[in-house]
Amino acid sequence: MTTVHIGVALATALVLGTGSVHAQSYPTRPVRMISPNPPGGANDTIARVLAAKLAETLGQQIVIDNRGGGGGVIGAELAAAAAPDGYTLLAGSVSTHSFSPALNKKLNYDPVKDFAPISLFGIAQNVLVTNPGLAASNVTQLVALAKSKSRSLNYASGGTGSTSHYAIALFVHLAGIENDTVHIPYKGGAPSVAATMAGETQFYFGPLASMTAQVRAGKLRALAVGGLKRSPQLPDVPTVAESGLPAYQSFGWFGMLAPAKTPLRIITKVHSALVDAVSSADVSQKYLQLGVDPVHNTPEQMERFLADQLARYRKAVKELDIRAE
């Protein structure tokens, strides 16, 4: 071998060796996880449960950086602009990468181009509930009742342009009862639940986690869930798709993302740690207690999932004419 070839070989070995060392040593300092929600809320709690377990696996502290506001937009913007070195991660959600981009034409980040998907880590079911005194025990009966008594049924939402508004508006649209029912927007999910229990409104479509206790106590009747499969929390309650509306999908999701151009070796290491964390007994148990189904997938699967969800939300928001307040 010539001196030149030996030099090239040594240089190549050094580069490969250095890359291997970087992959093994990452992270060498605390990692920031942006939670695009205020501290203490359900979404923030879900991110913190995962962060604590990731810290054990990665051997470094995961520092939660709460950047609430704008439906998750503020936190997502910050993550998109961060250095792609693995030391900033985003606990993204349906708000940051599906609903807000569909609702707002002008954002300071591209939900696809500005991020490197790592994995989903939770699915939060939405559930269609009625006042228990309503003469409807399934979706078919609810739709029939609405059509037989035009504009006699009111439905609640957490406010015009909210995710619960999307969930319920899509339902009445696909069920063909949007002109037979009346939308009553409230300032948040809690007033919507209270109004439905009191009979001010007859049905509502919102997060299962906020209504599990009321459903089990018989204060609300669960007719269907909006996810792709039934919830382990309510295994006897069918999906909306099973109930005769196969095109319906509406559920919350949580996923880990990094800034675009983050090295693959770092994405792979975080992905492995995340899968271990979500699969652990303690994280799974805590998630189920919070009404969240623990899940994970590959970066490639998550990329396809994000594209599908964004396309669905953009199409529905346009068809339903949902606008941010």
pLDDT-derived band of residue 155, with 50, 70 and 90 as boundaries? Answer: very high
Distance from C-alpha of 115 to C-alpha of 88, rounded to nearest angstrom? 11
**Domain ranges in the chain?**
3-124+251-320, 125-225
pLDDT of residue 162: 87
pLDDT-derived band of residue 325, with 50, 70 and 90 as boundaries? Answer: low
Query: Both tokens of residue 257?
Result: 């993302």
> Which residue from 298, 315, 320 is spatially nearest to 121, judged by alpha carbons?
298
**Residue for token pair 């609640």:** 156
Residue 23: pLDDT over 70: no
Distance from C-alpha of 266 to C-alpha of 58, rounded to nearest angstrom? 11
pLDDT-derived band of residue 17, with 50, 70 and 90 as boundaries? Answer: very low
Report how far Cα 289 is from the mean position of its chain's Cα atoms. Answer: 17
DSSP 95: I
DSSP 309: H
pLDDT of residue 129: 98
Same CATH fold assignment for domains 3-124+251-320 and 125-225: yes
Per residue in 40-98, pLDDT (tens digit) is: 888 899 999 999 999 999 999 999 999 998 889 999 999 999 999 999 999 999 999 99
> Which residue from 126, 145, 281 is spatially nearest to 215, judged by alpha carbons?
126
Residue 6: pLDDT over 90: no
What angle separates helix 264-279 from helix 3-25, to the nearest 10 degrees? 30
pLDDT of residue 67: 95
Q: What is the mean pLDDT of residues 265-277?
A: 98
Q: Which of 147-151, 194-198, 317-321 has the highest mean pLDDT?
A: 194-198
Distance from C-alpha of 218 to C-alpha of 310, rounded to nearest angstrom? 35
Query: Both tokens of residue 113?
Result: 């181009």
Q: What is the mean pLDDT of residues 300-305?
A: 98
pLDDT of residue 193: 96
The angle at the Cα of 215, spanning 213 to 217, to the nearest 5 degrees, equals 70
* Largest Cα span, the chain: 90
pLDDT of residue 201: 98
If phi > 0 it is left, if psi is from -120 to 50 it is alpha, else beta; for residue 206 that is: beta
Beta-carbon contacts of 127 under 8 Å, excluding residues fewer than 6 positions away, are 205, 206, 207, 208, 211, 215, 222, 224, 225, 226, 231, 234, 237
Q: Which CATH number fits domain 3-124+251-320: 3.40.190.150, 3.40.50.620, 3.40.640.10, 3.40.50.2300?
A: 3.40.190.150
- % of the chain beyond a pLDDT of 90: 79
Residue 1: pLDDT over 50: no
> Which residue from 240, 237, 245 is spatially nearest to 212, judged by alpha carbons?
237
What CATH number labels 125-225?
3.40.190.10
pLDDT-derived band of residue 254, with 50, 70 and 90 as boundaries? Answer: very high
Residue 4: pLDDT over 70: no
Identify whether the C-beta of residue 302 lies closer than 8 Å to the C-beta of residue 255.
yes
